[in-house]
Every structure is written in structure tokens, then in C-alpha cells.
Chain A
Amino acid sequence: MFDRHYSRLYNYAFKVLKETDLSEELVQETFIKLWENFENIKESERSITSFLITALKNKIIDDYRKKQTREKHTNLYTLNTSIETQIDQQWELTQRIEDIYTTLEQKTTDIFKLSRDKGLTYKEISKRKGVSVKTVELHISKALTAFKKGLKDYF
């Protein structure tokens, strides 16, 4: 269970917080909270997921509020943005991206991720996957089209 949720929550926290240590810390605390409340949660995958994300969001807000008092004078911009809205939007976006990936063919996802996550060139991907560069480009193009469509509210 830890494996399944950790990366996802960490990635989400990192996108909001942009700090590796803090993200790690808050996600750790979130799991500890889950641990402490395990009896009260119905053991369905869905309730665990929603518990984790709610707990994490609250932790981020708490942490933000603590900092806010400290940094009130230095960062006027973030003060004006509602943190609640911001973190909800980021979570929606995270889910949206996961959803887009699930609509793609597995092969398209694989190839796109090799490019995006591993930073491989089309040539390197074509070698690794045993397909032509043209095919790689086709899959990348498919993925881009899907993302353009799926993320249209975010541009």
C-alpha cells in the first residue's frame, strides 16, 4: 500500500511545495496519520486514497499558515492567492494527467514517458523499443494531442 500511494502523494506535494525535504516530511506525516487512524477507516482502496489526500492537503495548509505568519511581509503575492484553491487545483491537475495517461495506449504512454521522464531522444527510444523513429514520433504526437485536448482548461 505504501508503494502504491507514496510516489503519487510525493509528486503532488512537490508540485505544490516545490521543496523536496518538506514534501517528504509532510507525506511521511500523512502516512503516520493514516496509521494512527487505520481502525476508523473502512478498508476500501477508495477511502484510504481519500483519507491520504485530505490529510496531506490539510498538512500543506497547516504548514503554509505557519509560514505565512513568518513571511507575511516578504511575500505579498502568495498571501493574496488562496492556498486552498491552489492546492485543490493542483490535485485536480494531478488527477487529470493520470486520467489522460490511462486513455492512451500502453505503448504510447511508455514511449512518451521515456521521452518525458527519462529524457531519451527519439532515436534512443526507437532503439530501446525496437521500432522506427517515425513510429516514436507518431506516439509522441498522439500523446501531445491527448494532452492538448485534456489540459485545455489549463493553458
Chain B
Amino acid sequence: MDHFKITETEIWEYISKTADDITIQKVEKWMGSTDYDEDLFNKITTIYKHTSREHPSVEQAKKRFFTTVKSKPKTTVWKEVLKYAAILIVIISGTYFYNSVSSNKNQIVVQTTYGEQKSIELSDGSKVWINASSSLTYNSETPRTLYLEGEAFFEVAKDSLNPFTVTTPNHITVKALGTSFNVKSYQDSPTTETKLLTGKVEVTSNIQFKERIILVPDEKVTFYKHTQEVVKSKMNHNESIIAWREGKIQFENISFREIAVDLEAQFGQQILFKNEDIATTKFTGSFDNTTPIDEIFEVLKISKDFTYQLNTKTNEWMIK
């Protein structure tokens, strides 16, 4: 009978799945022999198990953490380090954007395509993160007067003499005096929404409504394009998280038609509805923005059945 002399390093190779075929055979023969030391094998297996390490994405977690704590206004520690006075989200969309931007040789246009995000720093020190399928336009001499189509998050450098304004395609203007905020203004969405997390902003329009709407933290203003209604309401917790900055597509009790606007921005594919019942069905969900669109459809299907099909010629999804 063969006599087996096996080393701990060979057992380790075997258990940690780094052994070559010869070693594997050797260890397995040993395990079937009378020399097999089960106790030793179990010990090394236990060491292998206990030394396992996960490698989480620290950067992503850190980003998420700071996004969350930035949106919590009450912390006094944060106020000390905060060079920005407020956080605001504006979700807006409309149609006649380009008319409102006069042509100028100093005009700067920063654009993102679908699924792309960009961040820029304006000459006054303010920072802007631009979400997918968006376009930000401003004059290089007046970086605090911006036109936005799509969605962006702003951290505005303090300057009480020069107000920071963002105007959207449907002539709604958000004015913030030393602020940090997020604006979304996609063309196809039926609503325009302004969300404020901390600080104070004023929402006005020279066309759509007469009121000056002042928002305090955790409030939002929704402008319904079809009915021309303006509604001010409180936000719930989930709404106050700027999901796209964390690489997420997130929606809570939102109609499929509105969700489709976000999906179109993310994936660059039109979504058409053949069934009004499905289009108005409301969904709640959260996905990584790397999730394929058909996978998102699959998940939504669980709560309400529908079929989806991609027309590869027109690059359009048909939802029935």
C-alpha cells in the first residue's frame, strides 16, 4: 500500500482551489487512504472559511453615505463644514427650451447622452452633476444663470449678491441664494417637479403660474403641464434621496408612463404604450442603473402583467 506524505501547504492549495491536477489527485488519494488526517483537513478548511474576505465597493458606499448625510439638515456638525446653504431638487420638463436661450458666442453647452453622467465646476465655484440625456446651457460670463433640460444636481457656491437661477424648458425658474440643489427637466414627462431638501428656494414662472412659491425643507412643488395646476406638498423620506447620483433608477408609486421617461434617458430607447391601463399603472422600485432594461421590465411584470417587445429598426419598445 502507498504511504502518503502530505504537506499542509498541499492541503491548503487543494482547499483554496489553487492546486494543479497532480496535487488534487495526490490530496484526494490521501483522503481515501489510512493516512488521512481528518482533523487536520477540517482545521485547514475552517481556516479557509474564517479568513474569507468580501471586497465591498468602499467608494460607492462612501458616495452613498455622503449623499445621505448631506440631505439631513439637522446635524449641526455638518452646518459647520457646509459651504453650501441648501439642497434642492427640481424635476422639470417641457418643450420650448431652445427658444429661451439666446445665441451668444460665450454660450457654453454641456451635454450628456443616454446612460452618461458628467460633473463640472462653474467659474464661481459651484458644482454641477449632470444626469443622463441632459443639456446644461449658460453664458460663461454669467455662470449663475443656467438653462437646463434633463436633470442635474447643483451645489451652489455662496454669493448673496448674485442669485443662482436655473430656468427650465417650460419657463419655470428656480432661484436659490447660496444653495445646493438638483434639477430634472426631461421633455416627455407630464409633470415638472421641484424638490427642496435643505435651505430655501423660490420657484416662479413668467408664463405658467403667477404665484411665487417658497419651499421649505422636505417640500416639493409639482406642476402638471396638461392641467396647468401647481401643487405644493410634503415629501416622504424616499423622495428626498437623489437616487441617480448613487447610480440608481428609483421610483415610488409612479406611473409606468413617467417611469418610461427615466428609462428612456438612461437607455436611449423610446418606450411606447399600446395599453393605457399599463401606462397608468403605478410602480415602486429601485434598480442599479446598470440593470438591463428588459430585466427591469421583467421585475415590473411581476406586479402587473404586460408584454414588451423591442422594434430593432426604430429602437423602440412596445408595451402591451
Contacts and interface: CB of A to CB of B under 8 A. Distances in A.
Interface of A: 2-3, 6-7, 10-11, 14-15, 20, 23-24, 27-28, 31-32, 35-36, 38-39, 93, 97, 115-117, 119-122, 137, 140-141, 144-145, 147-148, 151, 154-155
A154 B46 contact: yes
A120 B78 CA distance: 44
Nearest to A147: B47
Contacts of A7: 55-56, 58
Contact of A144 (B47, B76, B78): B47
Contacts of A148: 43, 47
B76 A28 contact: no
B64 interface: yes
A121 B43 contact: no
Contact of B12 (A38, A144, A154): A144
Interface stretch (B13-21, B115-123, B270-278): B13-21
A114 B9 CA distance: 14
Nearest to A31: B65
A118 to B, nearest CB: 9
Contacts of A2: 58, 61-62, 65
A155 B72 CA distance: 46
Interface of B: 7-9, 12-13, 16-20, 42-44, 46-48, 50-56, 58, 61-62, 64-65, 68-69, 72, 75-78
Contact of B56 (A24, A120, A141, A147): A24
A127 to B, nearest CB: 14
Nearest to B66: A2
Given A122-B18, A151-B50, 13 more contacts: A7-B58, A11-B54, A28-B64, A36-B75, A115-B12, A115-B18, A116-B51, A116-B53, A120-B18, A122-B9, A141-B8, A144-B8, A144-B12
A141 B51 contact: no
Contact of A6 (B44, B52, B53, B58): B58
Q: Give the top 6 A-B pairs by smallest Cβ distance, nearest first.
A: A137-B9, A147-B47, A121-B18, A10-B56, A140-B9, A6-B58
A6 B61 contact: yes
A10 B8 contact: no
B46 A155 contact: yes
A25 B78 CA distance: 22
A151 B75 contact: no
